[in-house]
Amino acid sequence: AGIDGIQRLLATERIEADEVERLTLMVPPLVHRLVGRPYREDMTVSYARLCFQYVGAVALRFGTVDVADFRPERLADPGLRDLSRRIEVVVDGNPDPNALVPQTVRVRLRGGAVREISVEHMLGSPMNPLSQAQREDKFRRAWSGAVRSLAPETADRAIAMAARLQELDDVRAFVRLAIP
């Protein structure tokens, strides 16, 4: 929800990452335990994926978070390191020990302006589903991030086949599309 909040702010406000003085993500206690870990110079991929300071910085700078953002060269990016250090995750006092939302993103810009948005439902949940275009974009980004190269034009075939998956007599044809 924090990434979704950043993306919503970027879509409605003109926010440049270098103008951000402080980004605060206010979250329920469970979310803080999951992603409130501090940025570290020696982060592993597994650590970075659950470090909102890092993924929030990536989302602020690039507008999204992808597989490529967890490669060694990106993890070592000094600009992301500096931006990560201007991000904090704080507990919002939600009494529900299992709550994942709401989450609030507050951005204080260097000029003193503050932008804020609350996300009431996780992106991809029934209350905030991905659109068809968002699902296809997410699929294409994952497809292009495969360790072994997968042909981009095959992604379109996979999307079309997935739309009629229940009609296939044999799903092996679908699976074969993902084999380089």
Which one, of 118, 112, 115, lies nearest residue 27 by Cα? Answer: 118
Amino acid type, 33: R
Decide if 111 contacts 19 (C-beta within 8 A).
yes
Which one, of 79, 83, 90, 74, lies nearest residue 33 by Cα? Answer: 90
- pLDDT 10s digits, 84-133: 999 999 999 999 999 999 999 999 999 999 999 999 999 999 999 999 99
Please give the model's pTM, rounded to 2 decimal places. 0.87
Buried b (16+ CB within 10 A) or exposed e, 34-55: ebbbebeeebeeeebeebbbbb
Amino acid type, 39: Y
- pLDDT 10s digits, 17-53: 999 999 999 999 999 999 999 999 999 999 999 999 9
DSSP string, 57-109: HHHHHHSS--GGGGSHHHHT-HHHHHHHTTEEEEE-----TT----EEEEEEE
